[in-house]
Structure 1
Amino acid sequence: MARQIDYYFSLQSPWAYIGHKPFTRLVSIYDLKVNYRPVLLVDLFSETGGLPLAKRHPVRQRYRLIELQRWRDKRGLNFHLQPANWPFNGRLADGVVIAMLEAGLDPEPFLQRAYPAVWELELNLADPATLVKLADDAGLPGRQLMERSGSDAISAAYEQNRQNALDAGVFGSPGYVLDGEVFWGQDRIELLEDALKSGRKPYSSVVEGPESG
């Protein structure tokens, strides 16, 4: 039976974009089943003590730009550090992914277009027409998915993903959960691969005391 990974992400996350190709490589190599879980980042940050980018200290904002350049080189990507249509409200784009999952469709062809659409092509993923075209180009029913994305049912699923993330100990995007162990951030992908390769038991935050005797 294939091992499963819960993949928490938002299309507005640069780190999810940067890590997506190496993540899909692991999925292929280790024949993993991926449970895609788009999640609302703003609420997740606030509930777990994080700050939105605009509210972070300037020192942290400047360091983030350095890190983006480092990882752009490391992952062999070519993207804008401050794309024209970012930040954007990710609800609609993430909802399209949830609508795909609801319909039993594979979201991967869409994700492989949507991530670079933001960071490389500077498209607006809050624009319904843009989302429809990206889905159509991926061979998916864009108009149908777009209409479903705004529904109450998709909003409820989006909220459930947020609650599931909190319950799992996930507090940012991307979050990869393997056997209950959280790997936060695309810079943990190599550690995720180590865990897959070794087959070790998951680490826990529960620290056992010294053995008696």
Structure 2
Amino acid sequence: MAHIDYFFATLSPYTYLAGNRFEEIAKKHGASVTYKPVDVIALFGRTGGTPPKDRHPSRMEYRAQELVRQAKKLGMPFNLKPAHWPTNGAPAAYAFIAAQNAGGGDLGKLVHAITRAVWAEEKDIAEEAVIKACLQEAGFDPALADSGLLEGAETYAQNLEEAVERGVFGVPFYIADGDNRFWGQDRLEDLDAHLGGKL
């Protein structure tokens, strides 16, 4: 059975734009998934990337156009300048890690609930009430937002180290079957083809 390690960031607009397509592809091919939230700004610093705020204006302008285009193409609501971005994405990541460890809910739905809160609902995912609502929506115990903070912080840091070691430099990033790497929500079709034996 195929396995996919999915590196994502709670604050990433591209993780949001992936929607539920990744989970649909994994289910289609019977692939198991390990979700690995990472601090994408720290990842940029470790892998030669530049945080959005420090990029050349031409890159920023293109990013703005492309995000809006992709959202329209996918039929997804999208706010290019959300009220609560950037914010501290770590608390939501810690809660996600606690949810993955606890089980019982839908992790794909939780990724989407968290990122949708930022990019479509004008919510601050650093706030406990927002995190708890996302957990509940995805079928998890909202109290997970209050537990496992130390373990979550440790795992979050470990995920960053693993990402750097395995060649991850942005999100969303999918590593299938050991070392087949796919970067970006716009490479999900390629991941699908790979899992189907066509790439």
TM-score category (smaller protein)? over 0.9
Is the partner of 1:171 in helix, strand or coil?
coil
Partner of 2:19, secondary structure, is: helix
Partner of 1:208: none
**Aligned counterpart, 1:119:** 119
What residue is the counterpart of 1:27 in the other structure? 26
Cα distance in 2 for partners of 1:102, 1:138 equals 14
Is the partner of 1:37 in helix, strand or coil?
Answer: strand
Counterpart in the other structure of 2:94: 95
**Which amino acid is the alignment partner of residue 174 of structure 1?**
P
Measured after TM superposition, the shift of residue 127 of structure 1 is 0.6
Larger Cα-atom Rg: 1
Q: How does 1:53-202 map to 2 (within 5 A)?
A: 53-106=52-105, 107-143=107-143, 145-149=144-148, 151-179=149-177, 180-198=179-197
Output aligned runs, 1:4-15, within 5 Å.
4-15=3-14
Moved over 4 A (4+): none
Deviations 1:42-71 (A, max 9, x none): 111000011111111111101001110221
Displacement of 1:139 in angstroms is: 2.8
Amino acid at match of 2:48: G
**TM superposition shift of 1:199:** 5.5
Alpha-carbon separation, structure 2, partners of 1:20 and 1:167? 27
**RMSD of aligned alpha carbons:** 1.5
- Amino acid across the alignment from 1:139: G
**Counterparts of 1:141 and 1:148, CA distance in 2:** 11
What is the alpha-carbon distance in structure 1 between the residues aligned to residue 198 and residue 33 of structure 2?
Answer: 17
Shift of 1:95: 0.9
Q: Which residue of 1 aligns with 2:17?
A: 18
CA distance in 2, matches of 1:56, 1:124: 24
Alpha-carbon distance between aligned partners in 2 of 1:20 and 1:165, rounded to the nearest angstrom: 22
User: d(CA) in 1 for partners of 2:55 and 2:104?
Assistant: 38
Over residues 58-99 of structure 1, what are the superposed CA-to-partner deviations in whole Å (9 max), with x where a residue is unaligned? Answer: 111010011102211221212111111111111001111101
- TM-score, normalization: structure 1? 0.87
Q: Distance in 1 between matches of 2:137 and 2:76?
A: 22
Q: 1:40 to 1:105 in 2, by over 3 A?
A: farther
More moved, 89-98 vs 130-139:
130-139
Question: 1:40 matched to which residue of 2?
Answer: 39
* Residue identity matched to 2:154: A
Question: Structure 1 stretches of 5 or more lacking a match?
Answer: 201-213
Percent identity, please.
36
